[in-house]
Structure 1
Amino acid sequence: MSLYSEEILIKVNPNPAKPSISANAPLTYCDNNLTTLTATKATKYLWSSGETTQSIKPGISGNYGLTVENDFGCKSPQSDILTVKVNLSPNIPAIKADGLLEFCDGNKVELTASSDPAYKSYLWNTAGGSAVTPKIVVQKTGTYVVSVKNEVGCSAESVPVSVKVNALPQKPVISANGNTTFCDGGQVTLSVANAQKYTWNTNASSQTLLVKNSGKFAVIVTNEFGCNSLPSDTLSVTVNPNPAKPSVSAQSSTTFCADSKVTLTSSTEFGYRWSNGETSQSVDLNKTGMFTVKVINQFNCISVSSDVIATRALDLPETPTVSKTGVFNLEANSFGLGDGYEWKLAGKLIADTASIIKASSNGNYSVRKKKVYVVNQANMVCYSASVERTFKAEEAYNGLGVYPNPVSGDKLFIETQYNLENATVTIYDRMGAPIFTGNITLLDGRYYININTLNDGLYLLRVSSSNFDSSKWVSVKR
């Protein structure tokens, strides 16, 4: 009896299912717009056309099917057969232009599609797609394409043709750098905005035109594309006669104080143009300068300048400041040269012209500085602005001012509100004993006493005269 052989394991792998084919478009189509056939997913594909991809694009009419393999190399049954019909497309049409494809606005070009017996219809890509003839007329910038169809409805599209329509320059506007009506001998420059080329009706070809004679002027401009504008509006230039040279008269001296003025008057005309910008027949001047006038006639023409009239405004003294000095004095201070001061009390002139005056009366004081000039061998006095100061003597002073008080130095100043003749000054110690006596013939300002011999302490200072007697306590502190 023999032994059994070893066991052998046999595995039978399944075949793939029968594949199906889907199409993304109808099976009758044009050769320039192929339909895609796609099989169900598998490991390998074998189409009846010999192709081995999942999807194919048949370019030839016929029957198409396939078998597929799975991972085990097993083949499926044959798929159902799809019948494909591929129609021929017409030849690609060509576009011919009867002129330039770049031109100026207002012109046109005719585009014509090539002819072919197979072409049954035309369609241009114009706005709305309404152009269905072999020819179209183009007047706008754009890219133009024509599509043709044959009898089976297959189409072909031409190579695009670009048309560029260049804009015309704007109608030029002539500007003038001055009046277009002017005096004989004058001129005006006419100009237009920048362009590539200029053609004036005088045959000039520059951007600007210098005009010296009457006439009517217009210009056409050309841009960088060679396109011409419409003619500009006509600009007229008129030349008129000049007025005569004017004369000028002064109503007063042309030398004056800076707070005054002189009036200059021109001879009569229709208009006036002074060198300082004034436009009236007469001008009021309050400063140093050289002045002329030109006159304008009824044609708006300007004369030559008149003879020069020189004016001189004399400097005013600097306005002073007023301060109280001491107890009863007012002092005017200002920088610069001058020839004294003019003081007033309540509007009435005070004889004193010094910088310091005694305010012997309460009230409103005013002062201004004066300066004397010699003009044409005569004196001319100029004054500064006036400054006011109200003065009121304090009753506590009782007509006598002593300062500084307390005093630490060697000088003690005294003032009286009124001028005193033959005044006596006496200093007493605290016990009433006189320790200093002095006589002053005229006490009309500040007067000081040397007190270097006085020790620290309290003293009584007395000033007396025939009609005045007043005392003040003075403290000496060194």
Structure 2
Amino acid sequence: MTKKLFFLLVTLCLLSTVRLSAQNCIEINSILVDACGFPEGENEMVRFTVGATPLPINLLTVTWPTTTLNFLGICQNANTAQKVADLNANIQSCGYILEPVGGTLPANSKVILVTSENMSTTFNSFANLTDTIYMIFQCAGNTQGHFRNYSATVTTPRILTLDFSPICSQTVSYYPNQLVNQFGQLDTAFQDGSSVSFDVSGNPTYYNNGCQAPIITLTANLQASDDTLCSGDAVTLTASNLNGNYSGYFWQGGNGSITSPNSLNTVYQSSSNYTGVDTIYFSMLGQCNDTISYPLYLNIQNGQAASISGPSTLCAGDTIVLTASSGSGYQWSNGATTQSIQVNQAGTYTVTVSGSCGSPTASVTVTSGSAPSVSVTPGPTVTICNGQSTTLTASGSTNYLWSTGETTAAITVSAAGVYTVVSSNNCGSDSASVTVTVTNVPTVNITASATSLCSGQTATLTASGASTYLWSNGQTTSTITVNAPGTYTVTGTGSCGTATATQTITAGTLPVAQISSPSTILCPGTSLTLSATGGDNYTWSNGTTGSQNTITQAGQYFVYASNVCGSDTADITINQSNIFANFVPDVTSGLAPLTVNFNNTSTAFTSGTWNFGDGSTSDVLNPQHTFNFGGNFTVWLTIADDNGCQDSVSANILVDDSQLFIPNAITPNNDGKNDVFTFNSTSIKSATVTIFNRWGNKVTSYTDWVRGWDGSNVIAGVYYYVIEIEQHNGEKKTLHGSLNVIK
């Protein structure tokens, strides 16, 4: 078996410690030749390591591979500080970027030289930086590329020199025709990210990590003692030349077992049940507690007995695929030499599998098959009584799935519904359904054409709800005819039991019409409701139908009452009450106090009540009443008769109060004459007086209009009053005027 050396360049973004030779104070580690971003000449980078001697950055001069470009010096200013801050803000790992303090790169520091202080911080990622580095920037001005990118025709080296004279300098070179693209190919496509790294002796290695800043990567050489083996065999795995700042490592993965996962040299025992490509991973623990894993591939061949996979049943008209276990050659009994064959006939098929692990043979028998044909008994409809159950049994196949979720051939059900069973095999499926109906004990009802029989009539009774019937008169039909009153019972029988129903037929009688009324006297302006009884249907002489008739006029009323056995008539006479209210006052107006004599001229009444509108009442037939204060009074007379009828009439009495005098001037000088603004009237029940000055400002307001206002709180002049009066009869009025206060 061949042995192969697996080399993996791991792009874990860690910066490892670089050991410098004693004679070197600077070591160039790598160049990002083809940078991402535009213009490219502002985004290229050189990574180097400072030795044991600190280096002042003002000593640095650079000779670029593009010799037409001058070195513009190192700039450290607010712009570069912001670039560093932006880069640090996007670092997702544990690294950090600094600018030199005091213009000096510390001893043993890791440094990245950027070709312009105008670099773009978004194109070449520092996100996975895990170490502390220093960054210095060439002053702005060069936008052309400082390095020669890939060219298949450029076979001469390109040279870079970093010179810190008089302390030290270093020169490295690379070949543009050896730069690789992102797929590791020598091609002009996908060249962004092409880079070259240098060992301590300046030997170049070409790689491409895409748009990734030139931060140091981990590397490891992985080797298997055999890359092709039989299943169940063992192989030795070796990891060597580990580079980078790592804290540990281990082996993992594969379908077999690893003897010593934490050793650089270990043994992998492959699985006896697995064939194909087996992937083993060597993992390293990074400085930020992250893990990077990279694969080692083993080709596991079949070392066990041959086998054939695929269906063993061939359905009518179908073709199936049979596949042999992995090997390097195949010989089937039908002459085929491929790993898989298609067959469309039943029979036994044999294959011999050849390989480095032997030539085992396997056979499989393919039988003819068909889709199941399922039926259910009993079915397709089943009727059971409420509370009972039935067993449904499926046949025609070997596996079943019911709509209830059960998977047995027989199920027991007690609820109504449609039950479906499905069976399937490699050749198809089939289903069958049964409808189960649940029947209750019958509910028997009787429908009667009439519930009352008049002389000589018959009624038809019809029973329903059962299958057979037995009546109490011995008849067994669902419908019977009866001609006599009585109680008739029927017993109905169904598949789930019996039930009875009863119908009573009464003897019909001729109607006897009657009319009732709360009164036979109709009061003026009222109505009466007449009520008829003795029949089933009623028609009144005024056209009203129904047992009640509301009337508003006196007269004779007839009602025609009927039922199935005949009809009858009744009548009632309603008389009109002649009550009439009227009175005559001997005087209707005058000065208070005013005495009025009232003459009651009403007719057809037995009692009466007077209301004089001033709070006084009387039940005297012809009263005399004195109105002591002014106002317009409505006098009501209400009369009644012995039948409960009432009538009312009213008249207005106007009483004038000539004593209401409102002065227009007062002289509050305590001489007893016109000292107070006051007024009075027998018609006044209450009053509110408000005094205003000439500017409309309120001076005073009071309700004791009799005591009045003496004007003591104002100076002489003309004032204005507003008087709001409520009279004894409820009327309200407002008076306005001027008042001259003389002092």
TM-score w.r.t. length of structure 1:
0.38
TM-score w.r.t. length of structure 2:
0.27
